Structure 1
């Protein structure tokens, strides 16, 4: 969520199984959206393609072509086809020759696009085939790179695909074509496009493109009106096995796999026999000796007649994709049952499995399950499956209910070692996130869910904590396949980068104008500016490359660089602004990119009183309205930016990456700010590679709204986005977050520490005293929050980034508090120690510090202790750290213990 009007509501969550037993009240600040209460104009004028023909005009047109079943209407890129349910008036004046010829003008090096509208006169058109020739000139030159975006392309996974095209009667299908013109080509190029619906004659359209003028810059990508950016839909940029910074390559010796700070040993069945972590308890060092995460091998079990069937393993075959991953495959058999196991391990800690079960005859079984036996000390905390992040329960029972629960995964672990398990099937579809989840929920896996028979039990068993994912009884049918997919993430992903944690200081403003932004950032100590959308230099959601704002945005970035300040842009996937000129071409692709939904009948927190009429007038149906941003000041004052939801795991991912590469090269951005993203892990890898290769030193920070409420259906945000975390530099854990929750909740849900990350607080600025227990502050510039600049100055004065952070979660911490309602973390240097002490209650508390002076390398009679003055945080005074300390409710101290000189 973006800019908010905080209206406090109390939600009582109807949680099944675990959480509902506690009858917890979730007091959250619901994001009642300020902009939706305002009005404004959209600023997009109708075009000649917006006006439908009158029925009399359509009838007169059809009479000119008696018996013709369908029509083709070549159209230039300047006139994006908008009407899908009627003929544009413009077309009713076409002659027979107009229907089968197109003439266009392009420049050398341009990615040139055009359209062909297909209209079904009175019957449905099925299986419409689209074929096209190369474009040739009279000198023997040939343009062979021609694409129809509707009929196929390159998927977000880099795979070629094709689509079947169909059209209802009296509707229009806009076919969009792309022609990649070489830089050294000039002249008149001719070719054909053939359109042939099943059972009907083909129509041959003659294409003529006159290539002339100077070589166009950057294939035409610099000018939105050319629509050349549609080429990004099929980009394969950064799709390789390369690593991202901060990781080491995958190494494999037989069945032993090594990645950064972790090792995985495989059994003959291809499943983990052992997983070890080498991270220290603060995630600051990688140690020579590892600690086991699992207590025994992970097992895939088939049970029949009350007993486990022994599964004989075949040969384990490997295929290495170094440096990034290694893949393997084997086959398990028992009589008439076989299981094909395919696995892979990636450099970031991902371990993916597909177990495909088949039977040569019908066989009734009791259960198919996966058992993950965790070491108790590596199952201290839990997040997921109806359990908010925090200490693990002794016993937990969970069942599938995807309509009411945004849940299919669980993480268990300690700070320096853990495991996330996500369950999937062959019917997996990435869900919508945030408050839109009910419009695009998870699919219950047909394998694991088994018609609501499946679930997950977590319980203590013989010095282990067992995660048992079961599916229940069923009959395996001869010839059918049952796909049990499972994904593991081994945490933490990386070492906490203390330079990022303490030296990346964000200015992130919520106002519409930017004239004072650089000055304010510089004056208050920020070195990174995040430019949100709904700004005078970046007006439209997820489309920072609009012609109208690019010059001002580029000038702002250049100016910030002269001041030594980085500038990052809001850029994510989930929604797209209606101001993106490519939206009409994306809509022409059916439901591939634009997520289908109830259209004008949609009601959400963003649209509580109905959908903006512009969307109904122009899109009409099959959409979900998204964010609404209303400008209250600046260049775009009075204007509204509307958006619609997009489909995850689509070619929009490629478009997103193409746009990112363009911004790196043309705008010199210093990274991106991602907001409740809808990306897959591989696209996130590509995102990181583009930034590192084109803009070394670029950063990614990620914001997430608290999904644990009735709107987002009870998901833990860091669980939801955990596979993104290896590629994130900073978290900004956001709205609807209750900072009065317990310290174990903070540790798992807010801090980022168990995953090798640092974080920041959002909701009303968080709690600075508790934040310092995790080394985090709020963000400068965001409304309703105190400035963090005075804590930043304290960091600088005491060189905190050079000290070792030892958290309260580490049982070896040399400074502990004797009051369980308080927590202490230290930042340890050779001659100086900072103690961050915080009260986790609203009432005053007293505590004494239990100090291991030897472990600190200090002597109590050779030190001084003080509470230094920090504006808006604490008053300065000396303190005796061996005496009782009084803490105000919800507050604390930063205490400096220093060796006497």
Structure 2
């Protein structure tokens, strides 16, 4: 509290500067909750960009990301032992395990969710029939994989690779809920041509169902072809798996911005990823052979000038995310209107959903303006 004094200088083209004195008196009273309880102060505007709870701490029931180095064993071993021994890092989260190869790409994905998805401690099942690969059309020599943990709920890694006329910088991260993203930036050190293909080979016994890229949920087809036509298709992701183990592949670049949804979509639609769409030849294909469903995203031939780069980002959502609680979740019955609790109970519902723009919650994102009615 007290008197604060200062000056404000005001200037404009073609006019002399004017210096105005400023006196600000701060009173003794403290505004409760920063003024959030008094809508006329517009204090809640500060909440719009709040970073509250944006940290790397796990949220129940998710568990911290556990990191275990995996050594490369040069001696001959069985295929299963080789999978356990091959290099990189093993990252463990609730019900799932991600094993990274030296190139920073997943070489194994395992799910321990039970068939009913009510527990996450069942026998681990491999989703992948072989490691995920990213072929850029050039032979690459990979450097060491570095990994760190900004916090318990996130691990991140990076690696670099060099080849004739190209450099590849790979960055990735895994969060405790099963969000895995890899950003591979390919830079040309001389004028060259590249043809990028991402291969995700999933076991056919796992990939029983599929959805996305124009397909509604259904039994997974043996073959499927899709090409980029964002203005009419509005798609960039494909899921395949079964209820207890699956993955969604989403293709992006450095310019990705989440689109708006429902009737607001056209105001901010999906952006076509410049890298994956290539020069018009990019697309996605699914093929099935010898017990493997191979999901491939490709750019087609790309001509890069020296110093030019393209970012090939892909996200894998590892499903399911957490165990179900049928006794609790299937007992919820929703009511979507503003009536008395007695009427809601008589209807048989036990959860009331008060939508905005209807009484007693007339203002979107600001229930305080209707606090008296809501009380």
> TM-score under structure 2 normalisation?
0.89
In structure 2, what is the equivalent of residue 262 of structure 1?
Answer: 96
Once the two structures are TM-superposed, the CA of residue 239 in structure 1 deviates from its matched residue by 1.7
Pairwise mapping of residues 59-138 of structure 1 onto structure 2 (< 5 A)? none
- Given the alignment of the two structures, is residue 314 of structure 1 paired with residue 143 of structure 2, yes or no? yes
- Given the alignment of the two structures, is residue 530 of structure 1 paired with residue 364 of structure 2, yes or no? no
Query: Measured at CA, do residues 206 and 401 of structure 1 come closer, stay the same or move farther in structure 2, by a change above 3 Å?
Result: farther
Question: What are the Cα deviations for residues 125-166 of structure 1, in whole angstroms up to 9, with x where unaligned?
Answer: xxxxxxxxxxxxxxxxxxxxxxxxxxxxxxxxxxxxxxxxxx
Question: What are the Cα deviations for residues 396-448 of structure 1, in whole angstroms up to 9, with x where unaligned?
Answer: 11111111111011111111100101111122222121133233221111111
For 2:171 and 2:15, how far apart are their aligned partners in 1?
Answer: 45
Once the two structures are TM-superposed, the CA of residue 386 in structure 1 deviates from its matched residue by 0.6
Secondary structure at 1:369's aligned position in 2? strand
Q: Is the radius of gyration larger for structure 1 or structure 2?
A: 1
Once the two structures are TM-superposed, the CA of residue 542 in structure 1 deviates from its matched residue by 2.9
**Alignment partner for residue 177 of structure 2, among 337, 343, 348?**
348
**Alignment partner for residue 252 of structure 2, among 424, 430, 433?**
424
In structure 2, what is the equivalent of residue 274 of structure 1?
Answer: 108
Query: Measured at CA, do residues 215 and 369 of structure 1 come closer, stay the same or move farther in structure 2, by a change above 3 Å?
Result: same
In structure 2, what is the equivalent of residue 668 of structure 1?
Answer: none
For 2:269 and 2:150, how far apart are their aligned partners in 1?
Answer: 33
How many residue pairs match? The answer is 356
Pairwise mapping of residues 289-688 of structure 1 onto structure 2 (< 5 A)? 289-303=123-137, 309-365=138-194, 367-509=195-337, 514=338, 516-546=339-369, 549-553=370-374, 555=375
Q: Does the aligned pair in 1 maintain the 2:183–2:313 contact within 8 Å?
A: yes
Query: Measured at CA, do residues 452 and 436 of structure 1 come closer, stay the same or move farther in structure 2, by a change above 3 Å?
Result: farther
In structure 2, what is the equivalent of residue 897 of structure 1?
Answer: none
Secondary structure at 2:248's aligned position in 1? strand
For 1:425 and 1:265, how far apart are their aligned partners in 2?
Answer: 24
Pairwise mapping of residues 137-176 of structure 1 onto structure 2 (< 5 A)? none
Once the two structures are TM-superposed, the CA of residue 192 in structure 1 deviates from its matched residue by 4.4
For 2:317 and 2:49, how far apart are their aligned partners in 1?
Answer: 29
Once the two structures are TM-superposed, the CA of residue 269 in structure 1 deviates from its matched residue by 0.2
Query: Measured at CA, do residues 232 and 533 of structure 1 come closer, stay the same or move farther in structure 2, by a change above 3 Å?
Result: closer
For 2:355 and 2:64, how far apart are their aligned partners in 1?
Answer: 35
Once the two structures are TM-superposed, the CA of residue 236 in structure 1 deviates from its matched residue by 2.1
Question: What are the Cα deviations for residues 640-683 of structure 1, in whole angstroms up to 9, with x where unaligned?
Answer: xxxxxxxxxxxxxxxxxxxxxxxxxxxxxxxxxxxxxxxxxxxx
For 1:238 and 1:399, how far apart are their aligned partners in 2?
Answer: 39
Query: Measured at CA, do residues 191 and 464 of structure 1 come closer, stay the same or move farther in structure 2, by a change above 3 Å?
Result: farther
Question: What are the Cα deviations for residues 150-186 of structure 1, in whole angstroms up to 9, with x where unaligned?
Answer: xxxxxxxxxxxxxxxxxxxxxxxxxxxxxxxxxxxx2
Secondary structure at 1:471's aligned position in 2? strand
- Given the alignment of the two structures, is residue 231 of structure 1 paired with residue 46 of structure 2, yes or no? yes
Q: RMSD between aligned alpha carbons?
A: 2.1
For 2:219 and 2:7, how far apart are their aligned partners in 1?
Answer: 66
Query: Measured at CA, do residues 436 and 451 of structure 1 come closer, stay the same or move farther in structure 2, by a change above 3 Å?
Result: farther
Higher RCO structure (Cα 8 Å, ≥6 apart): 2
More helix by share: 1
In structure 1, what is the equivalent of residue 82 of structure 2?
Answer: none
For 2:13 and 2:156, how far apart are their aligned partners in 1?
Answer: 42
For 2:221 and 2:92, how far apart are their aligned partners in 1?
Answer: 31
For 2:199 and 2:367, how far apart are their aligned partners in 1?
Answer: 47
Query: Measured at CA, do residues 196 and 399 of structure 1 come closer, stay the same or move farther in structure 2, by a change above 3 Å?
Result: farther
Once the two structures are TM-superposed, the CA of residue 205 in structure 1 deviates from its matched residue by 5.4
Moved more, 497-506 or 382-391: 497-506
For 1:402 and 1:424, how far apart are their aligned partners in 2?
Answer: 12
Q: Does the aligned pair in 1 maintain the 2:279–2:300 contact within 8 Å?
A: no
Query: Measured at CA, do residues 227 and 288 of structure 1 come closer, stay the same or move farther in structure 2, by a change above 3 Å?
Result: closer
For 1:363 and 1:273, how far apart are their aligned partners in 2?
Answer: 29
In structure 2, what is the equivalent of residue 719 of structure 1?
Answer: none
Pairwise mapping of residues 808-847 of structure 1 onto structure 2 (< 5 A)? none
> TM-score under structure 1 normalisation?
0.38
More strand by share: 2
Query: Measured at CA, do residues 219 and 392 of structure 1 come closer, stay the same or move farther in structure 2, by a change above 3 Å?
Result: same
In structure 2, what is the equivalent of residue 756 of structure 1?
Answer: none
Once the two structures are TM-superposed, the CA of residue 507 in structure 1 deviates from its matched residue by 2.2
Pairwise mapping of residues 755-766 of structure 1 onto structure 2 (< 5 A)? none
